[in-house]
Amino acid sequence: MDKELLEQYHQGLIALTSCIGGEVPQLILGGRLQEAKQAVLWYKQTFGDFYLEIQRHPIPELEQINQELISMSGELDIPLVAGVAASVVFAFYMPFLSAIVAAGALLGGCTVRIERDEPEDEQ
């Protein structure tokens, strides 16, 4: 989703910087810290309800991203939120997963892994 659409449809949405695949984390990993700050400020101005998402997973790059987001939080007065990777166990949750996948694809290019304990035809 491009930023023009986000500007048009931002009303009532709460936004986070997203997973490692999102714009801000990727700018941080690329050493483009000023661009990352500019992006963060754009999201804060556009959404109002905007948070910097830190995650703790066994991914080495997350430590660098987390440290920069923590620093930006203090510098730019934007709150932090702790996020985790989600896995879906029961078919009941599939409609919710569809919404998560759509939001991830639109806002940050994140992916969700689906694990099934039963064959699809038994759902």
- The continuous run of DSSP H or E covering 7 comes out as helix 3-8
- Cα dihedral 11, 72, 62, 60, rounded to 10, equals 160
Read off the pLDDT band of 53 (50, 70, 90).
very high
Structure tokens at 78: 């934007």
Domain layout of the chain by residue ranges = 3-122
Strands 50-55, 15-16: pairing is parallel
Report the predicted TM-score, pTM, of the whole model to 2 decimal places. 0.68
Distance between CA atoms of 41 and 36, rounded to whole angstroms? 9
CATH no. of 3-122: 3.20.20.140
- The half-sphere exposure of 34 on its side-chain side, counting CA atoms within 13 A, is 0
- pLDDT per residue over 17-41, tens digit each? 988 889 999 999 999 999 999 999 9
Element of type H or E holding 91 = none
